[in-house]
């Protein structure tokens, strides 16, 4: 089984105005290892705001349009297929606001292009 280690990073407090613009990270802390063969080349990860302790993960190119929810120990919680989407070369994922009030959305960046062969990218 291929393992991906989950490491949490915390920001350190900084004192100068310039340093406050660029966060400084403390050493990571291993909390778990992804324990499913479905995630073979994780390319993006985002912490769920709706479900504390859940991380959204996706594979790089070569997978279908789906996201994986894993807990902090790395155990698979759910597989979510993205209807109507195509996963050409997903590179990153983020949680942020959207058109609905007080509702968070997942944004997936299909921005990979290792050979500079694509005319456009999508998100």
Tell me the per-residue pLDDT of 16-47, one tens digit each, with 9 for 90 and over. Answer: 555 556 777 778 788 888 889 999 888 889 99
Angstrom distance (rounded) from CA 97 to CA 80: 20
pTM: predicted TM-score of the whole model, two decimal places: 0.73
CB 113 within 8 A of CB 91: no
Quote the pLDDT of residue 80.
94
Quote the pLDDT of residue 2.
43
Sequence ranges of the domains in the chain? 35-109
Angstrom distance (rounded) from CA 120 to CA 123: 10
Question: How many angstroms separate the Cα of 11 from the Cα of each of 14, 69, 89?
Answer: 9, 24, 30
Compute mean pLDDT per 10 residues along the chain, 123 residues long, and list them.
48 52 76 89 89 92 90 94 86 88 86 67 56
């Amino acid at each position: 089984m291929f393992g991906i280690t989950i490491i949490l990073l915390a920001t350190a407090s900084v004192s100068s105005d310039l340093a406050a613009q660029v966060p400084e990270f403390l050493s990571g802390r291993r909390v778990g290892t992804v324990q499913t063969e479905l995630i073979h080349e994780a390319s993006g990860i985002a912490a769920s705001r709706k479900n504390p302790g859940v991380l959204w993960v996706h594979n790089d190119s070569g997978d279908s349009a789906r996201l994986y929810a894993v807990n902090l120990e790395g155990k698979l919680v759910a597989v979510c297929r993205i209807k109507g989407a195509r996963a050409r070369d997903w590179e990153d994922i983020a949680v942020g606001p959207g058109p609905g009030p007080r509702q968070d959305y997942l944004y997936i960046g299909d921005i990979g292009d290792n050979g500079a062969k694509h005319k456009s990218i999508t998100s």
